[in-house]
């Protein structure tokens, strides 16, 4: 059973396996032959879920299109040592079919890996691209009505929204997958969730994945919700004779999968304030872009307000500062701020979501289409920081304990720097973990509203991140934990036994 507040790591499977082939001098290594020590190292770090990105059969058409993308070519040209079009592969989010990519192994190897990870106390998660398929996915020709269709007039009016497909003597105009706020994904075909046949097909895909993995990260889930689907494609759906269903696809689909696989995990990529709605229809966890945006663009007061949300919502939120869609946090936030944000993500309620490049302190954003190894130089300080942070937060108190948001009061009436401090605690049996984060520039002083019994004139508290004891006079524990001089973007995790 998955513990509360689990730890997940996202791995770029294609590049990671290539790195291991070089490391072990085994050019033919597949998923089933990855040495156990690699998986055990992830378990030792405290990871519960391994999310392997890009395991499915790739699309030749997606690769062709990516190799003609000027922005993509410029991006990989600037990646050291510099690459040309031959280094560009298909997007993992343009799935040709839900079979294991032959470069990664035979079909049976995915299920075998699931069983191996389960024996080590971990779960295997893979992708479901729920909004669209690759435009050359065989299903586009087998069931063209399972996709959004336009007319020739639609195609002429919006050639960037549709592609032409010949069906005997007839021409069809299939919509590209699209987020209405951005240009269409021109290597994809947009699924029609108002067609019962589409829902049946996607359910069968989910049931098949349920045999091979322990969970799915579902891409762009909000685009498949009835209301959003209707808003984006309504005129074409009405013209095609499709009515908006009463129920969301996910309600019955999640129920069907969990009837057969009760512990199967559903993680939704979802934005636009629809996270709570998506949790209500059955998803175990939803992306929490709100915390990311507050950490990156706002400040401690805004984050504190966000953390007062409903407890169940917090518990089912996926917290992150790095993933394949975002710029590396070390660049986006700045080094000090990124590490402080890392402590926030690691110590609040919810699924704690890490990226393989984040763990190693890699400062370049790598397009998922890159299929060749680049000059990847880990930052050893950042690597040690995350290894220590994960080890600290592997403690049962951070998973089975009671979380509480703590007020931080002024040290004195004239000093308002306490407003830039965040604090919370985890209590379990005789253990209390007190987390305090100074989330701004400058120095702060604050009185954390937590009761810690003094032991005579001075009390020593162990601070886990720095691996040292802090000595507090009894007056500094009177009425709370008084922290006089917290440096910019610093963090403490105090371990209190009582």
- Residue 341: the pLDDT is 98
- Residue 495: the pLDDT is 96
- Residue 454: the pLDDT is 82
Distances from the Cα of 222 to the Cα of 198, 218, 227, 285, angstroms: 17, 10, 9, 14
Which of helix, strand or coil describes residue 43?
helix
Q: Which residues of 45-82 are buried (b: 16+ CB within 10 A; e: fewer)?
A: bbbbbbbbbbbbbbbebbbebbbebeebbebbeebeee
Give yes or no for a cis peptide into 214 (omega within 30° of 0).
no
- Residue 394: the pLDDT is 98
Which DSSP string do the residues of 174-224 spell out, in sequence order?
EEPB--TTS--BTTEEEB-TTSHHHHHHHHHHHHHHHHH-SEEEETTGGGG
CB 250 within 8 A of CB 279: no
- Residue 475: the pLDDT is 85
- Residue 457: the pLDDT is 86
- Say how far apart CA 369 and CA 167 lie, in whole Å: 30
- Residue 162: the pLDDT is 98
- Say how far apart CA 107 and CA 30 lie, in whole Å: 11
- Residue 456: the pLDDT is 81
- Residue 19: the pLDDT is 97
- Residue 490: the pLDDT is 98
- Residue 168: the pLDDT is 84
- Residue 7: the pLDDT is 98
Please report, in angstroms and rounded to a whole number, the separation of the first and last CA atoms in the chain.
Answer: 29
| Residue 91: Cβ within 10 Å count | 23
Backbone angles phi, psi at 240, to 5 degrees: -80, 0
Place of tokens 């401090």: 421
Which of helix, strand or coil describes residue 87?
helix
- Say how far apart CA 128 and CA 207 lie, in whole Å: 11
Element at 20 (helix H, strand E): helix 13-23
- Residue 237: the pLDDT is 97
Query: What parts of the chain have a pLDDT lower than 50?
Result: none
- Residue 167: the pLDDT is 83
Q: Which residues of 271-288 are buried (b: 16+ CB within 10 A; e: fewer)?
A: beebbebbbebbbbbbbb
Which of helix, strand or coil describes residue 294?
helix
Q: What is the pLDDT of residues 485-497, one digit of tens each?
A: 999 999 999 999 7
- Say how far apart CA 120 and CA 47 lie, in whole Å: 11
Backbone angles phi, psi at 481, to 5 degrees: -100, 110
Nearest alpha carbon to residue 130 among 164, 98, 163: 98
């Amino acid at each position: 059973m998955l513990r509360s507040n689990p730890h997940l790591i996202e791995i770029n499977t294609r590049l990671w396996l290539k790195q291991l082939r070089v490391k072990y001098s085994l050019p033919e290594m597949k998923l089933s032959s990855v040495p156990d020590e690699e998986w055990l190292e992830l378990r030792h770090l405290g990871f519960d879920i391994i999310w392997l990105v890009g395991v499915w059969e790739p699309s030749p058409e997606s690769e062709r299109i990516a190799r003609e993308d000027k922005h993509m070519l410029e991006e990989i040209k600037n990646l050291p040592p510099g690459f040309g079009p031959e280094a560009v592969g298909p997007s993992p989010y343009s799935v040709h079919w839900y079979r294991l990519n032959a470069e990664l192994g035979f079909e049976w190897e995915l299920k075998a890996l699931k069983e191996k990870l389960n024996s080590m106390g971990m779960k295997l998660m893979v992708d479901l691209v729920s909004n669209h398929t690759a435009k050359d996915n065989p299903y586009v020709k087998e069931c063209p009505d399972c996709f959004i269709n336009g007319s020739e007039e639609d195609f002429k009016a919006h050639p960037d929204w549709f592609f032409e497909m010949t069906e005997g003597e007839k021409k069809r105009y299939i919509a590209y997958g699209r987020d209405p706020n951005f240009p269409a994904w021109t290597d994809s075909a947009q699924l029609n969730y108002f067609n019962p046949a589409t829902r049946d097909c996607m359910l069968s895909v989910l049931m098949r994945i349920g045999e091979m993995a322990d969970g799915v990260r579902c891409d762009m889930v909000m685009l498949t919700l009835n209301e959003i689907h209707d808003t984006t494609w309504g005129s074409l759906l009405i013209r095609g004779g499709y009515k908006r269903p009463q129920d969301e696809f996910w309600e019955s689909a999640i129920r069907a999968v969990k009837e057969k696989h009760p512990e199967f995990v559903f993680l939704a990529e979802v934005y636009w304030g629809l996270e709570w709605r998506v949790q209500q229809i059955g998803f175990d966890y939803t992306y929490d872009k709100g915390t990311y945006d507050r950490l990156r663009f706002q400040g401690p007061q805004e984050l504190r307000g966000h953390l007062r949300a409903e407890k169940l919502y917090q518990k089912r939120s996926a917290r992150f500062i790095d993933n394949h869609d975002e710029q590396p946090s070390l660049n986006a936030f700045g080094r000090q701020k990124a590490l402080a944000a890392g402590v926030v993500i690691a110590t609040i309620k919810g699924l704690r979501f890490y990226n393989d490049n984040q763990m190693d302190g890699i400062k370049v954003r790598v397009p998922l289409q890159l299929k060749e190894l680049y000059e990847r130089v880990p930052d050893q300080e950042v690597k040690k920081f995350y290894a220590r942070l994960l080890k600290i937060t592997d403690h049962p108190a951070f998973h089975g304990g009671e979380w509480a948001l703590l007020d931080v009061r002024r040290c004195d009436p004239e000093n308002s720097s306490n407003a830039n401090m965040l604090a919370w605690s985890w209590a379990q049996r005789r253990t209390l973990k007190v987390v305090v984060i100074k989330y701004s520039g400058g120095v702060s002083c604050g009185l954390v509203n937590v009761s810690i019994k003094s032991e005579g004139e001075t009390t020593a508290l162990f601070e886990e991140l720095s691996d040292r004891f802090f000595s507090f006079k009894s007056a500094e524990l009177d009425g709370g934990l008084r922290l006089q001089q917290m440096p910019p973007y610093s963090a403490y995790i105090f371990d209190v036994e009582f």
